[in-house]
Each structure stands twice: as structure tokens, then as C-alpha cells.
Chain A
Amino acid sequence: VIIRKLASNCFRASCTLLGVWVFVQSLPRLLPEDPARIAAGEWATDAEVQALRQVLRLDQPWFRALRISGLEWLRGGFGQSLRYRKPVSELLRQGFPISFKLACFAMLLAALLAWSLALWRGRSSRALQALAIASPVYVLGPLMLWGIAQHIPGLPVSGIQGWAAWILPTIALAVPLAGHQARLLTTQLESLRDSYGLRWSRGSGVPLTVAWRRWLLPAVSGPWLTVLGLQLGGLLGGAVLVESIFSIPGLGQILVGALNTRDLPLVQATVFLGAALYVFTQLIVEYLQAVLDPRLR
């Protein structure tokens, strides 16, 4: 049963991705302004704009352009970047490991912070959670540059040289995520703590560790995984900000650069990659939940 469900989920996910791809590819045609003119810049001559239209396949009919770039994508080529004059796939291959590493660090730290905030049942825990939720990446990052990095001489504030350079970006990315996770965990744990079943089992002499392992942990981990998946999938959005604050050459930085220079093929490929990562994490989360929770099978 679980295999069949997985297969149907995979099918649905690939349909979604196909839709996203078509959307990303045909977006230039849907908008009222001429994207080639915007990409070419204000002072471009008509001939230059025309040349760009050819490169972007805007001069061809919609379906034919879609088919040609579809075949190209299937062969693993995502087109040429307008600005770097390099294949887009090469640029993405450089940026992806860096962003992935940052995302992993941030998720680990966020999970750690969230659990410690949720297990510590003080009044200030609630306040800290609210503060963490309300502090966006682009406020936290510069504030840490001012408040922390300035006073610790050896701490690098940009780039990815050495392990110390990862500290500040990881914290900036992790804190808001940790806030959301901690709030969820706190409410879940509180409702479970007062539940009849748990009190009964504790009263009949089940040790706390067993109760945790057998009941609390599985019950809490379902919703937690959902939130984790959503956050992990949306992390590229946060990475855009963090990477531009700490100048880390990852996917986010590539995307911002591509946006500023109106490098359309690069933007399309990066956004599609972001959507693909999101859909993929949803898939994994659904699978994990089916494994953990027999009711969903």
C-alpha cells in the first residue's frame, strides 16, 4: 500500500513540476511588457533587442519554443547565461553545494534551538519564541554584523573561507525557523501533557523515558516534520537574503545577480530548481510521515 501511495505522490509531483516548468518558460510571453527590451536595458538599439529575442526564442511560436527548450532541458542543458556567457548548469553546479551546506547547518541549528526552547517551560521561553518569529533574516543578519562581528576581531563577516565564516549566516537563517518550530512543538507538547492517556500511563507506573519514546515523540514528530519540510523547501528564499548579506557565492547570490542583470535563462533555471527542491522535500516528508504514522498508510 505504501509503495502505491508513494508512486501516486511521485506522479502528482512530476505533474506539478511540469506545470511549474511550463509556467516559468512561458512567463515572458504572459506579461504585458516586452521582456527582451527590459533585459537588453534602456539604451539598447532595436537590433540588439531583436538579437536577444532570438536568443530567448521569443520570435518563435509559443509551443515550438517550448518544445525546443524542453528537449534541451532533457539533455541536461539549461541554456546559456546572458551575463556570464557560460552554460547555466555549470553555474548552478557551483552554487548548489554551498547553499545546500548552509541549509543543512541552518536546519540542524534550528531543530536544536527549537527543541531546547520547547522543552524549557519558562515564561521567557514564550517571549523568546515570539521574538525569534518576529526577527526576519534581513534584520538579524545586519544586526549581528553590528553587534557581534564588530567586537570579535577574528570572526569573518563574508565569504566561505574556513568554518568560522559559516557561523553568522547559519544563526541568521536558523533563528526565525527555530521560532516557528518551537511554537509548534510547545503547543503540541502542552496539549499532550494534559492528555488523559499520558496521565493514565504515568499513573500506572510507566517511566517518563518510555512514555516519551512510545507516545510523545511519535505524536509530536508528525506535525514537526510537516513544518520542517515546508521550511526546508522555502529555504532558498531565505538563502537569497542571507547570501547577499554575507556575500556567500551560493544559489541565492546567483539568483540576485541574475535578477539585477535581467539574465532570464539563469533566473528561470534557478527558480525552477527552487520549486523542484520544494516539491521534492514535500515528497520525502509525506513518505516519512507514512512510515511514522500507521493511520496515513
Chain B
Amino acid sequence: MMHRLGSLSKKKAMIAASFLMLGWLFGGDGSVDLTNRLANPQLRHVFGTDEIGRDLFARFWLGGARSLTLGFFLTGLHLFLGVVLSVTVQPSLALRRGLLGFADWLASIPSTLLALLLIAFTKPGYGSLIFALALGGWIPYARISLTQLDALRGDLSLLQTTLQGASAMHRFRYHLLPRLWPLLSAQAAVGLGAVILVEGGLSFLGVGLPPDRASWGVMLASGRAFLLVSPWGLLWPALGLLMVLLLATRKSA
């Protein structure tokens, strides 16, 4: 059986969607309450509070929703860039060589370093984070779809659709994309985990999302600083990240 999402199975998509909804509904950056710092879990603050008294429950949900939204958005962007680039480049040999050479060269800078480098030269914020993570992320998608497109080059059914007068757009939508999709979606399932991982790391270092915005990386960083007083600020985001990455990186399923 093959359904439309391929490797991003329906069950996982449902979990992610409900998580996002919960996150954006119940989450919040939390308000500062200095009389109630580093509290343990209690009725009013189910997960406890952080070092300046913000509710960890709200921050946990919003942080998770942010990480996931960013992850989905960036994975979609990578997928889009990869497919569009490979389709435009495929007919011409010189362009293909150029793109593959560029990809090889870009891939020789490890992705975390590339992101750090770009962020060092720009103002911090969503824009530079997305740009830094999008710069190298399209490479695997472009490689996969290029090989697939090459394999389909001599395909007679494709030739037939062209002879019958199908437009390039129609050909792409109904004949090429369905054949590219299984491999691309498998890569996307891996890529989603990787994006969330890198984004969390950058936020942990304090160069990803702005520190006043709740995100799991930021929460981990501040939780680590107050570890000996109260472990809750560390434990909840750690648990959340583990769960999400476990779901995202699990083989097939």
C-alpha cells in the first residue's frame, strides 16, 4: 500500500499536527514572576518554573511548536529548492556539472559550521537562521531527484505525454513528481530530524532563535545553568527533544 505522504506516514503526521495545534494553542513565552523562581512542579505550574519564574509548561509547548514549525518549514523549503533546481538544471550538461560541483563544494563545509559562519556575519533573528539552514540543506534532495530524473530520461510513457501535447507543468505534476516522491519523502523524513537537531544546537549556543523566545534549545541552555538548584528546566525540553527526534529519525514506520 502506498499513500500520498510516503515515508512521512499518516500516523506521524497526525501526531505532529496535533502537537503543533496544542503548542500554538496552550503555549506561551510565559510571564516573569520573580517571587516564584525555579519552582518544582505544582498545581499552578504543572512543569514548574524557570529561573525568572516563567511557567515551564507553556514554554515547553510553545518551544516545541516553534522547533517543529521551523523544522517543517525548512524541510519543505529544502525539498522545493532541491526539486526546482534539479528540474531546471537537468536538460543541460554544463549546468548539471555546475550544480553538482557547487553542491560538492558547499558540502565540504560541515553544516553546523556553515550556519555558524553565516550567523556571525548577520544580525541574529529568524531571517538569518532560516537562510543559514537553507543554504546547504537542498543538496541531498537535488542529488536524489537528479539521479531519478536521469533514470527516467528514456522513458517512453513520458515521451508519449509530450507527444500528446501535455504542458511541461502537467508533465511535472502528474508524471514526474509521483515517481520522484517515494525517495524524496524518505529523505525528507531524515532531513526533518536533522534540521530540528541543528536548530536546537544553534539555539543552545545562543546564536539561533533569539533568547527571549521560548525554544527547546534556549530552554536547555538556561536549564543547564541552574541545574544544581532545580533540574526541571533541563529535563522537560530534553525529554521533548528526545521524543521528537526519536519519532522523526525512526526508520520507516
B partners with A = yes
A residues engaging B (CB < 8 A)? 16-17, 19-20, 23-24, 27-28, 31, 33, 35, 38, 130-131, 133-139, 142-143, 145-146, 150, 183, 233-234, 236-238, 240-241, 244-245, 255-256, 258-260, 262, 264, 267-268, 271, 274-275, 278-279, 282
Contact in complex: A271, B231 (CB < 8 Å): no
Contact in complex: B231, A146 (CB < 8 Å): yes
Please indicate the chain B residues that have their CB under 8 angstroms from the CB of A255 in the complex.
Answer: 113, 116
Report if A142-B201 is in contact (Cβ < 8 Å); known contacts: A150-B228, A234-B112, A275-B113: no
Interface size class of B (residues with CB under 8 A): 35 or more
Contact in complex: A134, B123 (CB < 8 Å): no
Known contacts A150-B228, A271-B116, then 12 further A-B pairs from the complex at CB < 8 Å, ordered by chain A residue = A134-B246, A134-B249, A135-B242, A135-B245, A136-B197, A138-B217, A139-B200, A146-B231, A236-B110, A237-B110, A255-B116, A278-B109
The distance in angstroms between the C-alpha atoms of A16 and B109, with both chains bound, is 10
B207 beta carbon closer than 8 Å to chain A: yes
Least distance between B96 CB and chain A CB atoms (Å):
17
Q: Which of A183, A259, A279 contacts B120 (CB 8 A)?
A: A259
B121 beta carbon closer than 8 Å to chain A: yes
The distance in angstroms between the C-alpha atoms of A260 and B207, with both chains bound, is 8
The distance in angstroms between the C-alpha atoms of A117 and B115, with both chains bound, is 33
Report if A27-B108 is in contact (Cβ < 8 Å); known contacts: A260-B206, A271-B116, A275-B113: no
Contact in complex: A16, B108 (CB < 8 Å): yes
Contact in complex: A138, B201 (CB < 8 Å): yes
The distance in angstroms between the C-alpha atoms of A137 and B204, with both chains bound, is 11
The distance in angstroms between the C-alpha atoms of A233 and B235, with both chains bound, is 31
B241 beta carbon closer than 8 Å to chain A: yes
- Lowest 4 CB-CB distances: which A-B pairs, in order? A237-B112, A134-B245, A134-B246, A142-B224
Contacting A at CB under 8 A, from B238-253, are: 238, 241-242, 245-246, 248-251
Contact in complex: B108, A279 (CB < 8 Å): yes
The distance in angstroms between the C-alpha atoms of A137 and B205, with both chains bound, is 12
CB closest residue in chain A, given B204: A138
Least distance between A186 CB and chain B CB atoms (Å):
11
